[in-house]
Amino acid sequence: MNAKNMANEFGKVGVLFGGRSAEREVSLMSGSGVLKALQGKGIDAHAFDPAERSLAELAEQKFDRVFIALHGRYGEDGTLQGALEQLGIPYTGSGVMASSIAMDKIMTKRIWLSHSLPTPRFAVLDAKTTSSEELRRVPDELGFPLMLKAPHEGSTIGISKVTGHSDMRAGFDNCSKYDDVVLAEEFIAGRELTVPVLGSGRGSRALPVVEIRAPQGNYDYEHKYFSDDTQYLCPAPLDESLTGRIQSLAVQAYNALGCAGWARVDFMLRATDNEPFLLEINTSPGMTGHSLVPMSAKAAGVGYEDLCVEILKSAALDLMPSKDWTPN
């Protein structure tokens, strides 16, 4: 499709990036890449940072659709999706409810368990009222080491690996800075994997599995987005049967939450028996030079620009506006 046809098909496109979450810096990198890619395809794409411009200004832009390249709160959690529904602007990624649920690691795990999907055992702790004695009892159920996580932040924000009782309070306090509750989760020792999923419903499909090998197994914020020390193997070196099983689980996990458009599903593969466990799902994954969705798509023969266009094509509204309603 030539540039003129691209412009005609998509109209005026907004790329929403930046925002005011703890992941703003990464979102700026993701959005800049997406904007350049869409413009390179001849699409009439424009940058829009919700941290610097109001929803009234967003409405004034009269975008025909938007590509959400925001990460974390206020962009990936259903709040922006609700505003776009109200404005009648089709957007990429999951709708209001799926975005909200997927941003909550606890609710995500509860729904997966209701679908008999494997996820590590966990406990939920109140960030303000959990006593030292209650903290001491958590490892009785989950064992050591264990993970403490802020359940409404990105996968590397507000997270601590705890190896003994002496570390529990510091790890808990670290997570409490980000959230009202803390997720304590069984630690699964093994290989870290991730699987992008594209599409919706029965049309959902998994892309190649990526294995992440971070220094000392520490895939933190720095190693995730900025370091060149982390190794990525794509497709992951797994046998065909296990690869298919993990990809199938990724699609099941995606559809259980009602996700749409695209997302990335994170796993741990237990070393002792090669059993996969679902950790979380990201409904607006990174699109930076270190990001895993473009890496996986490339292994499937889909370049960065074409991936951005495919995602943009999926832009939609959860609820179609009334036939009598027209935007201002």
What is the CATH superfamily name and number for domain 122-186? ATP-grasp fold, A domain (3.30.1490.20)
pLDDT digits (tens, 9 = 90+) for 290-312: 899 999 999 999 999 999 999 99
Q: Give mean pLDDT, residues 124-138.
A: 95
Name the pLDDT band for 1 (thresholds 50, 70, 90).
Answer: low
User: With 60 as the cut, is the pLDDT of residue 42 above it?
Assistant: yes
pTM, entire model: 0.91
Q: Does domain 3-92 have CATH number 3.40.50.20?
A: yes
Phi-psi region of 175 (alpha: psi -120 to 50; beta: other; left: phi over 0): alpha
Per-residue burial over 302-318, b if 16 or more Cβ lie within 10 Å, else e, is: bebbebbbebbebbebb
- pLDDT at residue 290 in the model: 84
More confident site: 224 or 2: 2
User: Above pLDDT 90, what percent of the chain?
Assistant: 84
Q: Are 216 and 223 in contact (CB under 8 A)?
A: no
More confident site: 101 or 228: 101
pLDDT digits (tens, 9 = 90+) for 136-147: 999 999 999 999
The CATH class, in words, for 101-118+189-312 is alpha beta
The alpha carbon of residue 294 and the mean position of all alpha carbons in its chain are separated, in whole angstroms, by 13
Catalytic residues: 23, 155, 225, 264, 266, 280, 282, 286
Q: Which residue has the tokens 């630690």?
A: 187
- pLDDT at residue 189 in the model: 96
- pLDDT at residue 170 in the model: 94
User: Above pLDDT 70, what percent of the chain?
Assistant: 91
Mean pLDDT of the chain: 92
User: With 80 as the cut, is the pLDDT of residue 321 above it?
Assistant: no
User: With 90 as the cut, is the pLDDT of residue 250 above it?
Assistant: yes
pLDDT digits (tens, 9 = 90+) for 4-14: 677 789 999 99
Q: Among 243, 245, 217, which Cα is nearest to 230's? A: 217
- pLDDT at residue 221 in the model: 47
Q: Are 276 and 205 in contact (CB under 8 A)?
A: no
pLDDT digits (tens, 9 = 90+) for 177-202: 999 999 999 999 999 999 999 999 99
Q: Are 68 and 93 in contact (CB under 8 A)?
A: yes
User: With 50 as the cut, is the pLDDT of residue 215 above it?
Assistant: yes
- pLDDT at residue 73 in the model: 86
User: With 70 as the cut, is the pLDDT of residue 323 above it?
Assistant: no
Backbone angles phi, psi at 243, to 5 degrees: -60, -50
List the domain boundaries for the chain: 3-92, 101-118+189-312, 122-186
